[in-house]
């Protein structure tokens, strides 16, 4: 059974996990690891974009944990979403392969649809949290491609 003080320490993490799409059943219930959050909440909407156009957005990645997040990397498998310029962290992005506790960096993701459709994909950054490799899964990106 947890003491009141232990429960109070857990509540902020549960809030971060729920608001960032983490799974509180499998996620560690403390901040003794690296924990990455990405700005924009659960979803980010690019809106309506003509086929062939490019719209980019800068997201902030923050390590809210207590230790270094290492081996950061990412790739999209849906052609409509990609790092602006073609590779992580995107043109103008500042993230590298490490992120220290309480520090932030940026990634720039472009939406460039190739045919009319609705596209969705989560931002997935793979990193080592100090105990194991984990993957972020939020926010979910959404964009609607319209005719030119």
The DSSP H or E segment spanning 19 is: helix 4-19
The structure tokens listed for 26 are 């499998």
Domains and CATH numbers, the chain: 32-146 (2.60.40.10)
Least trusted range by pLDDT, from 55-59, 85-89, 94-98: 85-89
Residue range 134-145, pLDDT digits in tens: 999 889 999 999
The helix or strand, by DSSP H or E, that contains position 83, with its residue range, turns out to be strand 81-83
Q: Which of 88, 102, 80, 83 has the alpha carbon at shortest distance from 31? A: 102
Give this prediction's pTM.
0.77
Give the model's confidence band at 36: pLDDT under 50 very low, under 70 low, under 90 confident, else very high.
very high
């Amino acid at each position: 059974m947890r003491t009141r003080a232990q429960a109070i320490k857990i509540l902020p993490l549960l809030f971060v996990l729920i608001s960032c799409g983490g799974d509180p059943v499998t996620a560690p219930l403390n901040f003794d690891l690296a924990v990455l959050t990405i700005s924009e909440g659960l979803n980010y909407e690019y809106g309506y974009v003509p086929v062939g156009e490019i719209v980019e957005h800068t997201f902030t990645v923050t390590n809210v944990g207590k230790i270094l997040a290492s081996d950061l990397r990412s790739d999209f498998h849906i052609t409509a979403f990609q790092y602006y310029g073609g590779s992580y962290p995107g043109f103008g992005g500042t993230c590298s392969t490490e992120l220290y506790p309480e520090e932030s960096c940026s990634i720039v993701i472009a939406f460039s649809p190739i045919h009319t459709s609705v596209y969705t994909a989560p931002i997935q950054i793979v990193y080592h949290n100090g105990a194991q490799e984990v993957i972020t899964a939020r926010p979910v990106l959404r964009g609607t491609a319209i005719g030119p």
